[in-house]
Every structure is written in C-alpha cells, then in structure tokens.
Structure 1
C-alpha cells in the first residue's frame, strides 16, 4: 500500500496524526499533515513508499479525514 496526501487541501484537524502517528505528522512550518520522514518517497512529504503491512492505521486515518485528502493505493 502507498499513501498520498493533498497537503494544500489539508485543514490541519489532526485526525490523521492522532489516528496513525507512525505515518503522519504535523508540519511545524505550515501546520499541514505530512508523511513521516522514514516513509517518504524520494523525500516528498506528500507521498509514501510502499508501506509495511503493519501500518494498517493509514486506512483509518484516510476514513476519518474530514477533507478526504488522503489517498491509498493498494
């Protein structure tokens, strides 16, 4: 599974980083959600590498996002 975030549409509600802190974190500069550095694809804060199966909270975070900006590709 890979995850992408439309960071420019983020409302900074915190539901993703509260639900799945192993994958999402709030950017200190713009307050938008981003992928944690460990799982970024080519350093892109909006795109993940292929994630380990153990990170299943990403689906919950996508479901809870009120702005629906988190996309999951299996």
Structure 2
C-alpha cells in the first residue's frame, strides 16, 4: 500500500501524524507529507484511519 497527500487540500490539522506517525509527518510549512514509500503492513490500519478521518479528504491510501 502507498499513501499520498494532496498538499493543496491539506489544512495542516496534524490528525494524520497523530493517528499514524510512522507514515505521516508535518513538514516545515505545517503541511502533511508521507514519510513511508510503502506503508508497512503493521501501519496499514492507521493509514486508512488517517485517510478516513482527514477533515478535507487530502489523503489517499491504495
């Protein structure tokens, strides 16, 4: 699985980083970025949770 973040849509709330810190982090502009090229199997559930809970639907996991 891989994750992407629509940087134009991200509002920098930090939810994804708090839910799944091994996959997402906030950059110096407070915009989410993906830090895992491939989501480790043990982090797939939290990455999907971050996608589902993102208030602006900026995250895609597939």
For Structure 1 versus Structure 2, the TM-score category normalised by the shorter chain is: 0.7 to 0.9
User: What residue is the counterpart of 2:22 in the other structure?
Assistant: 22
Following superposition, the deviation at residue 67 of structure 1 comes to 0.4
TM-score normalised to the size of structure 2? 0.88
User: What residue is the counterpart of 2:59 in the other structure?
Assistant: 70
Counterparts of 2:10 and 2:51 in 1: how far apart (Å)?
A: 12
Following superposition, the deviation at residue 58 of structure 1 comes to 0.2
Which ranges of structure 2 fall in alignment gaps of 5 or more residues?
Answer: none
RMSD between superposed Cα atoms in Å: 1.0
Which ranges of structure 1 fall in alignment gaps of 5 or more residues?
Answer: 40-48
* Contact 2:24 2:32 (8 Å CA) reproduced: yes
TM-score normalised to the size of structure 1? 0.75
How many pairs align? 61
Task: Give the structure with the larger strand fraction.
Answer: 1
